[in-house]
Amino acid sequence: MQTTYDSVDDLAAALRRAASAHDRHEKELGHPDPDWPDWYARHMVDERAGHEQHR
């Protein structure tokens, strides 16, 4: 699936939302998530596609 962002600001905002969501995810896990790049990527693609967040 291809995902695009309209601008650098749009991408930065998506990264900030992913960081916030991932922080909650790690708190639920109870430990750091070593696969955070994969988690961020999936979260950002799902968000852009309008899908319900996966985690």
State the chain's mean pLDDT as an integer.
Answer: 93
Q: Quick check: 55 pLDDT over 70? A: no
Crossing angle between the packed helical segments 8-29 and 36-49, to the nearest 10 degrees: 120
Residue with tokens 């319900």: 52
Classify residue 55: in a domain, yes or no: no
Classify residue 54: in a domain, yes or no: no
Distance CA 42, CA 10 (A): 17
Q: What is the pLDDT of residues 24-34, one digit of tens each?
A: 999 999 999 99
Q: How many domains does the chain have?
A: 1
Residue with tokens 């979260």: 43
Segments forming the whole domain that contains residue 35: 8-49
Distance CA 11, CA 36 (A): 17
| Structure tokens, 17 | 């939302």
